[in-house]
Amino acid sequence: MLQFFKKPNFNIVGKGKIAFIVSIVIIVAGIVSLFVQGLNYGVDFAGGAKMQVKFTESISAEELRSMFTEKDLGNPEIKSSGENEYMITINANEVENSDDLLKEALTGLNYSILQIDKVGPKMGYEMRYNSLQAIGIALLLILIYITVRFEFKFAIGAVIALLHDVLITVAFFSFFQWEFSLPVLAAFLTIVGYSLNDTIVVYDRIRENIKIHKGKPLKEVINLSVNQSLSRTIITSLTTFVVVLILAIFGGQVLFGFSIAMVVGVIVGTYSSMFVAAPILIAWEHRFKEKEKKDKKK
């Protein structure tokens, strides 16, 4: 039998404080970054026209840009997306004229349009709104589900853990200014599901062990549970991590945003189910008991 750990007995819960500090630092830095440089919204949410154009002869991004500026056709964002291939993004105010703008700017050049993503400003606004609604509803449903299946304190722990995961992933998107598009949003919601999957497996063990080891302090029971599910957590995370990493490397540009969000999410999700979700239970219990004591004193 091949095993990563013969009899794992790490003091994982004891590392809660260090984990707490690490998480808080990243999240605070993420929030600062959100205020300073914000998220790099793609055309899905900001509105605009993104066109992937392939040229037959070689041309530089600078030359392309000057073709727009010289004819006074605005200053679109131009990024290379392959050999003689560029992403040209025209902002929301000019969406309606984007076809003409492109045609006029590129007259005399030989090119073919590989892809167009065009979203009117109103539609972008609507997508932002709908997305927030979707996230809200998903979180609410999950909270209800876990409350029904476990106890409320588990639900609180799980939701804090997944908020933590989403916040950290958002922080990464803000730091690196990766484009935030619809597929990325789908990835975020999947991270929510995935992170919960991990958290629930640990919680499930805790629920089971609380019944088996009745006298033991909660802290020990939780630590035992985390250790017992350690092999599983690592194997599953590893396989999922591998497939999303492959997707990020080989899946092409369209899937890159989605895959990179998943890569970050899988790592953070695994970390949070062990170092965030479990310790929160103890913290909650701690507070609750202190309150009980105070109540008794009264």
Partner 1 sequence: MSKKLIWRYIIVAVLLAWAVYSLVPTLQYERLTNAEKIELEEEGKLIDLESKIIKRGLDLQGGMHLVLEVNVPNFVKNIAQHQSRAYYDYMDKVNAKYEVSPEMDYLDIMLETADEDSLRLSRYFPSEERKTDNKSVIDNLLTETEHAVIRAEEIIRNRVDEFGVAEPVIQLVGKKRIIVELAGIDDPQRAKDIIHSTALLEFVLLKDAEYTQDIISRIDAAVKRINPEDISQIDTAVVSNTTSADKEISVSELLGITEGDASTADSSVLVDENLAADKPFSALLRNLGWDIGVPVENYYAVNKILNDPEVKRVLPNDLRILFSGRTKEVKTNDGGKVKFYSLFFVNREAGMTGEAVKEAKAELGSVSSEQMGQAIVNVRMNPEGTKTWARLTGANVDKRLAIVLDNKVQMAPRIQNKIPNGRTVVEGFANLEEAQDIEIVLKAGALPAPIDIIEERTVGASLGADSIARGVRSMFIGLLIVALFIIFYYRGAGTISIATLVLNIIFVLAILASLRATLTLPGIAGLVLTMGMAVDANVLIFERIREEFLKGKTIRSAVDNGYSRAFVTILDANLTTLIVALVLMQYGSGPIRGFAITLFWGIIFNFVSGYFISRTIFTSFTHGKKPLNKLSI
- The interface with partner 1 within residues 168-187 (CB under 8 A) comprises 182-183, 185-186
Q: What are phi and psi of 38, to 5 degrees?
A: 65, -170
Which of 38, 242, 286, 289 is close enough to bind partner 1 by CB under 8 A? Answer: 242
Give 117 or 285: the residue with its C-beta nearer to partner 1.
Answer: 117
Which of 45, 68, 86, 241 is close enough to bind partner 1 by CB under 8 A? Answer: 241
Does residue 149 bind partner 1 (CB under 8 A)?
yes
Does residue 259 bind partner 1 (CB under 8 A)?
yes
State the minimum distance, in angstroms, from the CB of residue 249 to partner 1.
Answer: 8
264: its two tokens: 């970050």
Token pair 């017992």 is at which residue? Answer: 228
Which of 23, 33, 52, 169 is close enough to bind partner 1 by CB under 8 A? Answer: 52
Does residue 156 bind partner 1 (CB under 8 A)?
no
Does residue 231 bind partner 1 (CB under 8 A)?
yes
258: its two tokens: 């989605």
Does residue 160 bind partner 1 (CB under 8 A)?
no
8 Å CB contact between 46 and 76: no
Of 33-41, 66-74, 143-151, 167-175, which part binds partner 1 (CB under 8 A)?
143-151
Which of 252, 288, 291, 292 is close enough to bind partner 1 by CB under 8 A? Answer: 252
Which of 130, 177, 289, 290 is close enough to bind partner 1 by CB under 8 A? Answer: 130
Between CA 164 and CA 292 the distance in angstroms is: 28
Which of 10, 21, 60, 122 is close enough to bind partner 1 by CB under 8 A? Answer: 122
Return the number of other C-beta atoms located less than 10 Å from residue 262's C-beta: 27
Between CA 160 and CA 164 the distance in angstroms is: 6
Which of 77, 137, 217, 290 is close enough to bind partner 1 by CB under 8 A? Answer: 137
Cα–chain center distance at 250: 20
Q: What are phi and psi of 267, to 5 degrees?
A: -65, -50
Give 91 or 131: the residue with its C-beta nearer to partner 1.
Answer: 131
Which of 9, 11, 239, 292 is close enough to bind partner 1 by CB under 8 A? Answer: 239
Q: Output the CA–CA distances (angstroms, integers) from residue 34 to 10, 28, 65, 87, 294, in the order listed.
A: 36, 10, 28, 25, 41
Question: In a 3-state reduction of DSSP, which class is residue 85?
Answer: strand
- The interface with partner 1 within residues 60-119 (CB under 8 A) comprises 96, 99, 112-119
Under rule CB under 8 A, how many of the chain's residues touch partner 1?
A: 72
8 Å CB contact between 202 and 273: yes
Q: Nearest to residue 52, comparing CAs of 19, 82, 73?
A: 82
